[in-house]
Amino acid sequence: MADTRVIDFATAGSKHREKREHEEKEGRAEAMRDRFAKALPDKPRPVKDYFKRKKASKKR
């Protein structure tokens, strides 16, 4: 009797790992948003600008 609900652990593991990594990244970004909001209240998107500069410096 063949079971039709076979789980591929490789794909299931990567799916859950990606979800967990995304949640961790969002948590770090939220903490940065709070810090930037306190330090730079007049900038509209300080975290997004910070990540753009960081990514640009990595590409060099």
Q: What are the structural domain ranges in the chain?
A: 9-59
Q: Where are the alpha helices (DSSP H) in 1-60?
A: 9-39, 46-59
What's the gap between Cα 44 and its chain centre? 20
Q: What is the pTM of this model?
A: 0.49
CA atoms of 48 and 25, how far apart (whole Å): 14
Q: What is the pLDDT of residue 22?
A: 92
Q: Which pLDDT score is estimated for 35? A: 87
Q: In the prediction, which pLDDT does 49 show?
A: 84
pLDDT means over runs of 10, the chain (60 residues)? 72 83 92 84 80 84
The pLDDT of residue 3 is 66
